A and B are shown apart, each in its own frame.
Chain A
Amino acid sequence: MLHDIALLSPMIILLFGALFTLVVDPFLPTATPRRFWGPFGALISGAAVLATAALWVSGNHEMQTPAFAAHLSASRLSLFFTALTAVCALLTHLSSPAFMDEQDHGFGEFYALLHFAAFGMAVMVAAESLITLFIGLEIMSLSVYVLAAFKRTSLASVEAGLKYFIMGSVASAMLLYGMAFLYGIAGGTTYVEIQRALVVPKPGLDLWLGLAVVLTMGAFLFKVAAVPFHMWAPDAYEGAPTPVAGFMSAGVKAAAFGALLKVLYAALAGGAIDSLHLSMPKMLATFAVVTMTVGNIAALRQTNAKRILGFSAIAHAGYLLLGCVAWVPDGGLGDHYHVAGAAVPFYLVGYALASLAVFAALSVVGKGGQELTGQAQLAGLGRRYPLAGAVLTLGLLSLAGVPPTLGFFGKLELLHEVLRAGDQYVPHAVLLVLNSVVAAYYYLRITVWVYMKPEGKVEREYIRDRSLTWSMSLAALAILCVGILPSRLMRMAAFAGGAVRPQVARAHLDHQLEVAGLKPPVVKAAATEAVLPR
């Protein structure tokens, strides 16, 4: 019991932060500015990161350790992504207070919802059952919908929230529909049960399985903003308050990919993917390539930095999706599993930090309730506010994948993994490279606006705030330092990526034993049975 609760400690800390903020905030004097909740939230998120680190160090998590009747686990993968999302929350907490106060919407509930979103992400990536995954996803989504629409006086913000909400609800419905079929096939909702059920071939269930997988994957494609479910992203990113847009692009994407990896490889691998005769990886890879191309091409003609970053988020979803697919063992169960699997977690760290840095730097223009991130309005930022200009440039370079930033190594590792996955992915890898080149154009365009465009006559004011400076500097330092010394993070990412494999192997072994008649089939995982006597 105590062991189980220890596994939950990062989530408990985040939830405590949310509830504390919600409960205390109404009792504060009405005139008190609420910006101190930002640093407080950063402390809470930092504590969650520390708790995750302690869990990482303390135990042998090579094997999954499902807790609470197999609904949650603290595998290395979960821990890695929990820490990543908590870091995203930390940086967002630091970059929001000044911005939200300037926008006249710095209320306590904003910070509480940030905590809730981070909590939902932690639940999502720690989920070991479809139910927990769905609830975590909904906690995160609902919080982020509201955060996106938080600046209620702005039509753009409300539009962002509304679009995100409506499209997200459709995706949730798809996910539930797919999950219902998966439950029907497997007779259980935990990943272990699903995998055990799928490893044993069930000829009659192929079609059901295809339907279930397509629906589930469709929902994930929406959450990561991949084609054909990407339309909401640019509007949502443009309209949402800038720090929230950063959180959406970094945290939400990290959590969604973490959960996707688990669903793909802890639940479906070996069964679903193989029995569909590898059409699933092909389909996903095609979507990935289309996604990155659409995102990059569409970004070329935009004139608003936030909108460009919205399209860039779509493109990055494509890269990452390709990374996820390349991880699929080709040639069915029993062949080699790639040693790596580190690329997606590693890439996500680089992408998340760069996004947060860019959006934090962009939020300095939000003085006086405005969000002027257009082409002409950014001119002169580099000269008048050198730190913001530098951080923006560094973040954009990292997004473009220029050495010595973290983004470069992320892209390198991703490319490596895609090529290693097999010859059928060579065209995809080529397209990935071409896309990166195209993307460099619009990232550099923003830099040109910031440094080289002539300033207008208007004397622009920028938000200068200590916690915002901290946020920018921390993100930029991380991009640089880890970019220069990436091997440690790479090893951790490899641990994380490797965490789902033992289970695949175990399920495979069970199946082999069953086929050989050495072991009776396991109908139900022991961990899912009730823990209390009837």
Chain B
Amino acid sequence: MTTEQILFYILGGGAVAASAAMLLPPLGKSPIHSAISLIVSFFFLAGLYALLSAHLLGALQIIVYAGAVMVLFTFVIMLLNLRPDETQEPRITAGKVLAGVLAAFVVGKVVTVVGLASAGAKAVDLAQPGYENFGSTKEVGYMLYTSFLVPFELISVLLLVAAVGAVILAKKSLHYVDRPEPPPSVFDQEHAHEHMHTQSGTDHAGDTHAPHDANAHAASHH
């Protein structure tokens, strides 16, 4: 085994293990621990990129994903501050068992296919002419501004759309002038009722205090 192979198995195994830890207990039970596992997984991926002589990609993986995206991710999860009673114990239902069996089947197929098909895979020899600058910053820059100019520009539109959409959905009030909120429509009420009906049984941590407050208020008036 060469050093490269050893490193590959360490990094790849680490990435898989960290990804598995995202979902499986004990870490997978808490959203925040899952997110941290994801960051760890990103680090291993960055290592894999570096191993493939794509140092730039590795550094960007850390700077963008582990550094910026995941920080905001954990930020949101931590501020939601889910308590253990809100992250309910998973219940095993027939549907979930069926889904699990199907998923296992699909995963098994994928693993089989990957195992069978990678037998004859060959690596690209980076020593051959044309690959001297492979993965270097300069090479990536050339590619982005020549062959991939259009996708590169399109991605800026994509990010703009995402930003506009996020602001629209997250902003407190979209109205330009202060107006009282419109009364909920008939449709909303019907739907809200339906919604609570379907969720009653599972969702009582956040909603219960409102009726209690109302009762207390009414009682104090009497």
Contact = CB atoms under 8 A, between A and B. Distances in A.
Same complex:
yes
Interface of A: 15, 22, 30-31, 68-69, 71-72, 104-105, 107, 109, 112-113, 116, 119-120, 123, 129, 131-132, 135-136, 138-139, 142-143, 145-146, 149-150, 152-156, 159, 161, 204-208, 210-211, 368-372, 528-532, 534
A154 B157 contact: no
A528 B157 contact: no
A155 B185 contact: no
A146 B158 contact: no
Given A113-B165, A528-B147, A15 B195 contact: no
A146 B168 contact: yes
B90 interface: no
Contacts of A131: 148, 151
Contacts of B181: 153
A166 to B, nearest CB: 14
Contacts, number: 122
B169 interface: yes
A145 B165 contact: yes
Interface stretch (B37-45, B48-56, B110-118, B209-217): B110-118
Interface in B152-200: 154-155, 157-158, 160-162, 164-165, 167-169, 174, 176-177, 181-182, 184-188, 191-192, 195
A68 B150 CA distance: 7
Given A109-B168, A142-B162, A371-B187, 11 more contacts: A30-B176, A69-B147, A107-B174, A116-B157, A135-B158, A153-B188, A211-B110, A369-B182, A371-B185, A530-B142, A532-B142
B113 A105 contact: no
A154 B147 contact: no
- Which secondary structure dominates chain A's binding surface? helix
Contact of B149 (A69, A119, A161): A69
B143 interface: yes
Contact of B158 (A68, A69, A139): A139
Contacts of B192: 155
B120 interface: yes
Given A104-B182, A155-B192, A207-B117, A116 B161 contact: yes
B143 A530 contact: yes
A139 B157 CA distance: 7
B88 to A, nearest CB: 19
B146 interface: yes
B105 interface: no
A154 B188 contact: yes
A154 B176 CA distance: 19
Which 3 residue pairs of A and B lie closest in terms of their CB atoms, listed nearest first?
A30-B176, A146-B165, A530-B146
A210 B114 CA distance: 11
Contact of A155 (B116, B142, B148, B195): B195
Contacts of A22: 164
A15 B195 CA distance: 38
A69 B148 contact: yes
A204 B117 contact: yes
Contacts of B75: none
Contact of B117 (A69, A129, A205, A530): A205
Contacts of B110: 211
26 contacts: A15-B157, A30-B177, A71-B148, A72-B150, A107-B174, A116-B161, A120-B161, A123-B154, A132-B151, A138-B158, A142-B161, A146-B168, A153-B188, A155-B192, A156-B188, A159-B191, A159-B195, A204-B117, A204-B119, A207-B113, A207-B116, A211-B110, A369-B182, A369-B185, A370-B185, A372-B186
B145 interface: yes
Interface in B80-111: 110
Contacts of A161: 169
A22 B161 CA distance: 11
Interface centre among B158, B160, B184 (most CB of A within 10 A): B158
A15 B182 CA distance: 33
A37 to B, nearest CB: 14
A155 B150 contact: no
Nearest to B185: A370
Interface centre among B143, B154, B164, B169 (most CB of A within 10 A): B154
A155 B114 CA distance: 43
A528 B164 CA distance: 33
B213 to A, nearest CB: 21
Nearest to A104: B182
Contacts of A72: 150
B186 A109 contact: no
Contact of A154 (B117, B160, B162, B187): B187
Contacts of B167: 109
Given A135-B151, A154-B185, A207-B117, A105 B161 contact: no
A87 B182 CA distance: 33
Nearest to B191: A156
